[in-house]
A and B are shown apart, each in its own frame.
Chain A
Amino acid sequence: MSWSCVQVEERLSDYLENSLSENEEREFRAHADSCSRCAPLVAQVSRMLGNLHALELEPVPPMLASKILDQTLGPRKAKRNWLSWVPVLWQPRFATGLVTVLATALIIFHATGGVKKSKLTLADFNPVNIIQSANSQAHLAFARGVKFVNDLRVVYEIQSRLQPATSGTPGQQAPSATPSQQKPPNESQQNRLTEGSFAEVAALVAYTRLRSAP
């Protein structure tokens, strides 16, 4: 005789934990596989158990054990060495802050021109001197940056002026699928273009030299 829905429900945990005898399991399955009410129930509970067993433990608040020990043993003398701080500092919120502070310190160090041990005097620690030095370094860095950008612009201009003059040559030499359709360029026009471009480039180079001259 096959089991009823009530029996299947009552023995569901035994079935899921493999605690049924062979005969009982056969009866259980015979009903559960054919019952439209019990089949989804078995699947549902089985899936939920899988989820429950896969759940990880919640993380414990970091100071809980210390609080318990303080309450039971009394406030204890901290027996930490410097390495015991490493796990705390390794946490993202501290590590990010630490990296930011270090980067800022590095930038300031470079902006002030670094510390020269051999010439270190008491005046180097004066905040006014530090600020003045940082200010002049910052202006110097800005001026260098501006000059670099300007130079770069001139180089690009030279390149763009040279390009029309030089790009014609390889285009003509390159093999073409329909060479007969291409018209040979006017030689005198090309020469004029090249001469004009070189004159402009020469003027630009002269201008750049004048600008960069102290």
Chain B
Amino acid sequence: MEADAQLVQRCLRGDGPAWEELVRRHTRRVYNLCYRFTSNSSEAEDLSQEVFLRIYRTLASYRTAYGGFPTWLTSVTRNLLVDHYRRSRRDRMTDALEDVLPVVEEKHSPVRTPDKAAIAQELSAQVQSALGKLSPELREAIILRDLQGLEYTEIQQVLSIPEGTVKSRINRGRIELARILQEMGVGPS
């Protein structure tokens, strides 16, 4: 498989198929990041499109020294999500409190079935709901580390904060998330 950096170089020379390959390779990652932040598939889809549009326009500013294309992509996505969060928070200042908190979509059945996929889906919904109750700083740290699997140094680059702060946020986020899940009655699996 061709490296991302080579694909970027080909994109900069105007190679359409190279861009198509980059998009197809990273769509799932970007979409999931957006979904975990917004808890809404429609918003996540729109934001993913925005992310790639921004990436396409600023591709020339990408440097391999930055720490790999996925890290840069995550960083751009995160910045856009922060903008989106601020924008939506401003828009919702007059809304009711329950509207401000991210709400998990009603796409998961509340009925437990013995099917493994259904159980995994329910757990995913519960985690998503619990993530929505975390503060944005802790939430993004947890998503990047435990759901996107980024290294501490990559998170440090994406969030532009010292490594000590990254570790502290992740640790606090995990404890807080476990407490919320406990309160929600999510037992051992």
Contacts and interface: CB of A to CB of B under 8 A. Distances in A.
Interface of A: 9-10, 12-14, 41, 44-45, 47-58, 60-61, 64-65, 67-69, 71-73, 76
Contact of B19 (A44, A53, A67, A73): A73
A65 B174 contact: no
Contact of A68 (B52, B124, B146): B52
Contacts of A45: 174-175, 178
B123 A64 contact: no
Interface residues of B, number: 38
For the residues of A in contact with B, the DSSP-based class is: helix
Given A47-B178, A51-B189, A68-B48, 4 more contacts: A60-B27, A64-B48, A68-B27, A68-B52
A12 B175 contact: yes
Contacts of B174: 12-13, 45, 48-49
B181 interface: yes
B171 interface: yes
A13 to B, nearest CB: 4
A72 B19 contact: yes
B41 A61 contact: yes
Given A9-B175, A49-B146, A58-B35, A73 B16 contact: yes
A60 B175 contact: no
Nearest to A45: B178
7 contacts: A47-B188, A52-B147, A55-B124, A65-B27, A67-B45, A69-B19, A71-B52
B157 to A, nearest CB: 19
Contacts of B56: 72
Interface in B6-37: 16, 19-20, 23-24, 27-29, 31-32, 35
A80 B14 CA distance: 22
A60 to B, nearest CB: 5
